[in-house]
Amino acid sequence: MSRLDRWSSLREGAISPADLSAALGTRPRRLGLFRSDTAVDGRRELLRGMPFGAILAAAGERNRVDSLLLAAVVETESRFAPQAVSHCGAVGLMQLLPSTGQDYGVKDLRDPYANVDAGSRFLRALLNRFQGRPDLALAAYNTGPEVVARYGCVPPYRETRDFVSRVLRRYGQHQHALARVSVPRPGELRAAAGPSRDVPSSRRSEGEGLAR
């Protein structure tokens, strides 16, 4: 069969003119794997105005931790000071102990990229251990996972409870700000949706609840 005959058979049966027109004329739709593109863009927009925002955004997406939660931890722990060292020897943006840095293969905890990468991986491990509960993960970040496991709740230590409260309050403020910047205009909604027959609206929402 010639190339022309094969094309003719496609036109007559396998692919309808409407399907061909839709395939060639429709802009590709972008679907986020774990959250909507609007939410991803909103986070990046908020982080762009923060010190080390690009590092926080990349670490959050790479290690599956909400980058706004990372920002709240950094703000609370070091106020974005990469050279900060606490009285107990915690170092850098996310105030990691040298032993934690060693666990994640980091030699220089004053390096912002390495510090945030190790800190976000550590926080991801804590979220996994405590069933995704940010209050328990943050308490474990502050006082140690075995202490939190022993109590089964945020331990009754003033420093730990104050730390968890301050981080979650700041995280909530970031989420409220995200809600304001992530609401697309009606025209953007229509452009992003594409032809309604491609993916039913009920299916488009799948996976967006997993946004971090």
Q: Which residues are catalytic?
A: 77
Residue with tokens 């004329």: 25
- In whole angstroms, give the CA distance from residue 106 to residue 118: 7
Q: How far apart are CA 119 and CA 207, in angstroms?
A: 26
Nearest of 164, 116, 100 to residue 138 by alpha carbon: 164
The helix/strand/coil state of 208 is helix
Q: Hey, what amino acid is at 160? A: T
Helix axes 158-181, 67-77, angle to 10 degrees: 140
Sign of CA dihedral 48, 51, 54, 58: negative
